[in-house]
Structure 1
């Protein structure tokens, strides 16, 4: 079996590379045609070029991308989609119309997808699903999905070998939040909690690493809450800059209401940062509450503030949590090798193609 694959995504270059690398390593994959507005080039990857005017315009560009996928879908043995926003729907429709198997990569929460009737239908019809962890596998089964499912993580080999050690002198921020500034990351709730902490810790410092469509609103809230001297907007960071930002922080905090398995938490834990995260996605599997970090319920007023103060008041516990998180990631590195993830992909692709040939969708 040799496969020609269409891959539909809207990810950043870093995230796209993480998703594609194990597929590229498979001998059964001849090439992968990438349907994304922005150009991207790599081994076996063929970006499906859009006109210049379509690349610049979001709505027109997405319509053009979908039209190209519909027109060319019969060229492929399989369509793979990162099920974020409408990419999974594009793949589902193209596969349905052209009678091609579709694998949906669910990189967020299954419950959130099932709450949207269109997204739910797209996943239900998939010939196979790739998910970020066992919690998502269980949720798919709970909703009655009967197609093949595989846990497909992102390749990760640990922090760079040249990464400098964190020292008291390197610390510039008490907290760092590495997340796009969008609704799902709940920055406004985070800022309210930091404002509450400020009554006890007037000099608390929070770094926000990321950009997004809500940045102006978040900046306005920083001013409204009197946090101008406490919050730093770092913007988009390349890899060396991001590593330096981790090294400059005491702890990572993530206030999301919607996640899969965020790599920022993996990266921070691997560097020995204690983490404060919400109980969403695969985070309850990754982070042991009270051992390698602190978990709170989303939008539980005061919960983030209490967690921040707890780490601040007890540096020894914070250090122990960071060390436990480092050990947790070290134990998982074998599962996140490219070769291991590639093998999971091979099994899933073979099962999905066989499932499609029998005419079976994900639900009976």
Structure 2
């Protein structure tokens, strides 16, 4: 594939420790898969992904991108994953030169991309997609929490040729630590630009449905969610639907029973991306209670459907405060409930916010993300010729 302005072939290596496996065969993150697919329409893309289930190595395709599966035993040292990613990328580079090596997440893929690029003498880009910038000691979460990972990620942030973060919130977290990357870009994930336009329907039926989409983990803070919901349901007729896999061995289910909320709350477990969208479209309100988010993709998804959002002041909650969503401090169920009741009791006052959310979310798309990566690589290539 040749770029429109320069006529020369751009070839990218994309490294990840997961998220782009076929849906029925490993961890599948829809917006990550769509990003790889979109990037493959703009450049020659070869992706390399680790598979921790010990399954055989192999290849498959995402759009025009070739994907190489690198098997890794679950108990293998993490640095083995870096070594294997570097080896595979350099082997492919010897066959046909890469113009950019992109690592998705800081470790292991980001550090592998950095090492491989230095050995291959080509530029690198690293995307911080998760908890790399986080430090949440109350739940033991974050790449900045412990010394070894903090030093590794700080070095990577400062020395990567390009560092991508998903939100201004992440950039602010780096700034607060005195970390000044060589070249920092805020490149959020988004919904497909081809998604049909929507109008926000009236959602006045009773009981109204509140939707929460997240893995059930401590950092997503479903305890605060339940406390906030217990306040909300005493004021309005509502039900809560919690969508996402349970990583706390039924603990949150037990808390629901102990609080006497079982008849008000539904757990769906993990759903397909299409099923999640159906639940979002029928929601009266989306509530997120995370202690940390790099972005908060469900906020973008809800906004694109014209659904009101209440979220904590992390990720896009930090970026979009005052632009269409209502925000709360983390770990504050009273404030989250208060913000939610503003919308539920007076929905007509927030219609203008909903329309603003739709407009903002439509500016974020896989196309925009990939166009930025290609444009910056093209600029560097043109400058070196």
Shorter chain as denominator, the TM-score bin is 0.7 to 0.9
Q: CA RMSD for the aligned pairs?
A: 3.5
Q: Which residue number corresponds to residue 322 of structure 1?
A: 354
Larger RCO of the pair (alpha carbons < 8 Å, separation 6+):
1
Unpaired runs of 5+ residues, structure 2, are 1-8, 20-27, 53-58, 135-142
Choose the corresponding residue for 2:47, options 4, 23, 33: 33
Cα deviation 1:27-68 (Å, max 9, x = unaligned): xx43313223187522342332345xx5xx533496764442
Change (3 A) 1:300 1:144: same
Aligned length: 343
Q: How does 1:1-364 map to 2 (within 5 A)?
A: 2-11=10-19, 12-26=28-42, 29-37=43-51, 41-50=61-70, 54=72, 58-60=74-76, 65-75=81-91, 76=93, 77=98, 78-83=100-105, 86-92=108-114, 101-108=123-130, 111-112=133-134, 113-115=143-145, 116-137=150-171, 140=174, 143-157=178-192, 160-161=195-196, 166-168=201-203, 173-201=208-236, 203-214=237-248, 216-288=250-322, 292-330=324-362, 332=363, 336=365, 338=367, 340-349=368-377
What is the CA distance between 1:275 and its match in structure 2?
A: 0.6
Larger relative helix fraction: 1
Residues 13 and 89 in structure 2, CA contact (< 8 A), matched pair in contact too: no
Task: Give the aligned partner of residue 4 of structure 2.
Answer: none
* Structure 1 range deviating more: 298-307 or 145-154: 145-154
| TM-score, normalising length: structure 2 | 0.75
The CA distance in 1 between the partners of 2:336 and 2:60, in whole Å, is 38
Q: 1:135 to 1:189 in 2, by over 3 A?
A: closer
Shift of residue 353, structure 1, vs aligned partner: 7.7
Return the offset for 1:274: 1.0
What is the TM-score normalised by the length of structure 1? 0.79
Query: Is the 1:108–1:258 contact (alpha carbons within 8 Å) kept by the matching residues of 2?
Result: no
* Structure 1 residues 17 and 303: alpha-carbon distance in aligned structure 2, compared to 1, 3 A threshold: same
Q: 1:290-319: CA deviations, max 9, x gaps?
A: xx2211111124111212222222232244
Q: Is the 8 A contact 2:242 2:266 kept in 1?
A: yes
Contact 2:31 2:191 in 1 (8 A): no
